[in-house]
Amino acid sequence: MLAEVSKNVFLHVSQNRVLNKAAKKWGLKFGASQVVAGDTIESAIRKVNQLNQKGLVCTLDHLGEFVSSREEAVEATQYNVRTLEAMGESGVKCNLSVKMTQLGLDIDSNFCLENMRRILETAKKYNNFVRIDMEDYLHCQISLDMYKELRKEFDNVGIVIQAYLYRTEQDMNDLHQYQANLRLVKGAYKESPEVSFPEKKDVDENYKKIIKMHLLNGHYTAVASHDEEMIQYTKRLVRENGISNDQFEFQMLYGICVELQDRLVKEGYKVRVYVPYGIDWFGYFMRRLAERPANVWFVLKNFAK
């Protein structure tokens, strides 16, 4: 009960725009550096290099969401372009993840689409890949619509599907024709039981269902979870169906379950680490605390310091 209350508190706080704005001035405080790889492109590239040396590949995420002005969205777009350029010049094994609300989705969808086109054109220049992060339920349909529009022009773009939503299986069926490269997650936002499974067991079952669906459809699948039960399920599924290791990868967050990441690499699996960086760290960090209440200790310890 206490864990559920704690989770709800952190998810609610993660969407507080006043606190998000204030946190930009604090720097990486209260233990955030455990899960955020610095506040500059250069610091992020250094972390990616270190992870590459351990046999891990990465995806970089310039933190930020729900921007309220065109200037902020243009600045975020430029920063993502510079990140792709830095990755290309450094030769790291890494792609890019982006949030559409950071690029102006809440301001004007066509404006956001143009910003995405600029990012994807840069990625194509460096033979790189960009994934659209899925955000809260209110942005689900428009994010999928924009992904489908972008797929008419680009083959180096993917998106995320969240298992905790009732609509997910139908979304998977709709995406089948696009041969979509999907990151499959359980979901990290606070949503109403009217649109999402309230019970963990139901989310877990739906997660297994969509992993199986996408792999058996022959599409590239990123299984993004720290849940060892889901990882073992994926291993059994690919083994029993003769699915090549080239058709899927495991994905995990920077700073979380590091030993598990290393073990999977040693077993011969491709593991991609989601590496967030930047000054707009607050919302991301609060959602990580909501997912793993044990991490609250890091907040209390660093606050005491």
Task: Summarize the confidence of residues 51-73 as an average pLDDT.
Answer: 92
Q: Which residue has the higher pLDDT, 29 or 137?
A: 137
* Residue 291 scores a pLDDT above 80: no
Q: Residues 89-98: what's their mean pLDDT?
A: 98
DSSP-derived 3-state class of residue 76: helix
Over 70: is that where the pLDDT of 287 sits?
A: no
Look at residue 267 and tell me whether its pLDDT is greater than 90.
yes
| Residues belonging to the active site | 133, 183
**pLDDT for the residue 303:** 38
Choice among 19-23, 55-59, 172-176 with the minimum mean pLDDT: 19-23
| Model confidence at 179: pLDDT above 90 | yes
Contact 133, 160 (CB under 8 A): yes
DSSP state of 279: S
Q: Report the pLDDT value the prediction gives residue 299, as an integer from 0 to 100.
A: 43
Q: What is the pLDDT of residue 2?
A: 38
The CA distance from 14 to 25, in Å, is: 16
Residue 63: per-residue pLDDT: 84
Which candidate, 234, 214, 215, places its Cα nearest to that of 226? 234
Q: How confident is the model at residue 39 (pLDDT cuts 50, 70, 90)?
A: confident
What does pLDDT average to over the chain?
A: 86
Report whether 216 contacts 177 (CB < 8 A): no
CA-CA distance, 229 to 271, in Å (whole number)? 16
Q: Residue 110: its pLDDT value, please?
A: 97
More confident residue, 106 or 294: 106
Interval 188-207 mean pLDDT: 93
pTM value is 0.85
Residue 190, pLDDT score: 80
Strand partners, 271: 250
User: By C-alpha distance, which of 131, 92, 128, 91 is closest to 224?
Assistant: 131
Q: What domains can be seen in the chain, in order of their start residue?
A: 37-280 (3.20.20.220)
Give the pLDDT of residue 21: 52
Average pLDDT over residues 215-235: 97
Nearest CA among 91, 145, 144, 83 for reference residue 118: 83
pLDDT score of 81 more than 90? yes
Query: Tokens 């949030």 — which residue?
Result: 99
Asked if residue 28 has pLDDT above 70, the reply is: no
How confident is the model over 21-35, as a mean pLDDT? 53
Are residues 102 and 67 in contact, defined by beta-carbon separation less than 8 angstroms?
yes
DSSP strands (E only) in the chain: 57-62, 94-99, 130-133, 157-162, 182-185, 221-224, 248-253, 271-277
Confidence band (pLDDT; 50, 70, 90) for 119? Answer: very high
Please report which confidence band the pLDDT of residue 188 belongs to, taking 50, 70 and 90 as the band edges.
Answer: confident
Mean pLDDT for the stretch of residues 276-288: 70
Calculate the alpha carbon distances from 188 to 12, 39, 84, 133, 136 in Å.
Answer: 12, 23, 26, 12, 9
pLDDT score at 32:
58
Of residues 138 and 35, more confidence is placed in 138
Mean pLDDT in residue range 77-81:
97
